[in-house]
Amino acid sequence: MQNNKENINTEQKNSKELVRGLSLTAGIMIVAGSMIGSGIFRKPATMAGQLLSPELLIIVWIVAGLFTFLGALANAEVASMYDKTGGQYLYFRDMYGDFTAYAFGWATIAVVLSGSQAAIAYVFAEYVGYFFAFPETPQSLASITLYLPLVGYIHPFFDLSTKLVAISCILFITFINYIGVIFGGGVQTVITFIKIATIIVLAFLLILLGNGSISNIYNNFELSPDFTGNYIALFGLALAGAFWAYDGWNNVTYVSGEMKNPKRNVPLSLLWGTLIVVGLYVFINIAYLYLIPVDAMKNSPLVAATAMELIFGKSGGAIVSLAVIISTFGALNGSILGAARVQYAMAKTGLFFPFLGKVHGKYRTPHTSIVMTGVWSAILVMSGTFDTISDYVVFAAWLFYMLGALGVIILRKKYPHRERHYKVWGYPFTPIIFVIFSLLFLLNTIISDTQNAKMGLFLILIGLPIYFYRKYVDRRI
């Protein structure tokens, strides 16, 4: 009788905890799958127009990849010290205290991941529209206008069919993650394998079948006569575009509490996942340039589709559209998987609404947090402000990436004897170099893209009233 009672108590306790069901392979696929979204299919054209040099374009992708990897190295050491769900939010609590941790968590919820989800979902819907003709929005609905402070006028029902498809995708992925992290991780693994294979095959097709030229890739660094401007500033802006395509590498840290052997597997996931994506991005951009000169690339917003159409005609566009649909679906799944865990961790530590810290009794997922993540992303889709918000994401994200790397040094001094399953290579120079680079990148953004930098900071600050209320007013926590 006593044993039965103990078993019941154990089952009840386990039903309130998250399940550790994600393997190392799933972790690597969360990293890679979260990074590979729409950016690699859209950003090269913008970056080509900024730099007008094939060599500099490739260098930007390499530099951005290198510093993304350095950030992952620093993050890997910290991740090897923790085994709870919440990722960088929990790291920042130990590094800097509740205030900075909350600011990071709020920025992630309000703009960094949610803004990315809205933008990715919209791109998904756009490419679904390549295969299916969406009904036009009635003019009476499309013309409805609302005003949002600091954002301006928005048209929530403009292009309504596309938005509804985007929201349907978000809700479907929300459901997948609601019913189980193992199922969500499995979906992520399968889709990411398909994405990686697709990019590799695409690059080989462009190089082997395309009527391209090596001179498109290398022209002795001759600068375009059309170029006018400050190369340092434009190089920084191009880096921001590359960083947007690389972003999402830290999503796996948010599910540490659901990883098998997290102190080993989370760092390995960060390192291998990031390396895979850096290699893929440099390879596919070389393939783009081989077929399309940089002067033509700047006028090809969907550069992958343009390249494939040069080889296969209209059917090439269909192939790329299908690749983008798969890519964005996987990126969205990885983002929702990670974002929900930030709110969950904030609630469990008393700095956010308590109901977001609940665990589903049957599925053992942070179900209320997952639903809230999906709903907020859907609202951003309807607002139509996601393109604007995505411009703020990189600045806000890299502010905290910089603090995370600096935190490696802080934790080394604060907890010198705590077990670390991985120690960052080249310490202390690696994190210091990353911090200096991040600071210079942020300063360049403030100077060359002041409005977006201000808005990135503003969106972080507007969540502070909730922090002060939870911390100092609501004494029930």
In a domain, 394, yes or no: yes
Q: Establish if 397 belongs to a structural domain.
A: yes
Residue 4 counted as domain residue: no
- What is the domain count for the chain? 1
CA distance 251 to 336: 9
Phi, psi of 146 (to 5 degrees): -125, 155
Contacts of 22 (CB under 8 A, 6+ apart): 30, 181, 182, 185, 255, 258, 259, 260, 265
| pLDDT for the residue 403 | 93
For residue 3, tell me if it sits in a domain. no
Distance from C-alpha of 73 to C-alpha of 67, rounded to nearest angstrom: 10
Whether pTM exceeds 0.75: yes
**Any domain includes 6:** no
Tokens 């609630």 appear where? 347
Using N-to-C axis directions, what is the helix angle for 98-107 and 386-414, rounded to 10°? Answer: 150
Q: Are 17 and 364 in contact (CB under 8 A)?
A: yes
Domain extent, residue 466, equals 17-473
The Cα–Cα gap between 81 and 368 comes to 28
Q: What is the pLDDT of residue 39?
A: 79
- What is the amino acid identity at position 99? F
Residue 5 in any domain: the answer is no
Residue 233, CA distances (Å) to 131, 132, 269 in order: 39, 41, 33
Provide long-range contacts, Cβ within 8 A and 24+ apart, for 299-302: 299/45, 299/49, 300/45, 301/42, 301/45, 301/46, 302/41, 302/42, 302/45
Q: What's the CATH number where 367 sits?
A: 1.20.1740.10
The answer to the question of residue 109 being in a domain is yes
pLDDT attached to residue 474: 65
Q: Which two three-digit tokens encode residue 450? A: 């002041």
Question: Can you say whether the dihedral through the CA atoms of 59, 194, 327, 394 is positive or negative?
Answer: negative
pLDDT tens by residue, the chain, 477 residues:
444 444 434 444 444 566 667 788 888 988 888 888 877 887 888 888 888 888 889 999 999 999 999 888 888 888 888 877 777 888 899 999 999 999 888 888 887 788 888 888 888 888 888 788 888 888 888 788 887 665 567 778 888 888 999 999 999 999 988 887 666 667 778 888 888 998 899 899 889 988 888 888 887 777 666 555 667 777 877 888 888 889 888 877 777 777 888 888 888 888 899 999 999 999 999 999 998 888 888 887 778 888 888 888 878 888 888 888 888 888 888 788 777 888 888 888 888 888 888 888 887 888 899 999 899 888 888 876 555 666 667 778 888 889 999 999 999 999 998 888 888 888 899 999 999 999 988 888 788 777 766 776 777 788 888 888 877 776 554
Distance of CA 266 to the CA centre of its chain: 17
Is the peptide bond between 44 and the residue preceding it cis, with omega within 30 degrees of 0? no
| Angle of CA points 110, 367, 476, to nearest 5° | 75
**Taking Cα atoms as reference points, which of 350, 358, 275, 306 lies closest to residue 62?**
275
Q: Which amino acid type is present at position 229? A: G
- pLDDT at position 463 is 84
Q: Looking at residue 223, what is its pLDDT?
A: 67
b/e sequence 208-241, b meaning 16+ C-beta within 10 Å: eebebeeebbeeeeeeeeeeeeeeeebbbbbbbb
Cβ atoms of 334 and 34 within 8 Å: the answer is yes
Asked, for residue 150, whether it belongs to a domain, the answer is: yes
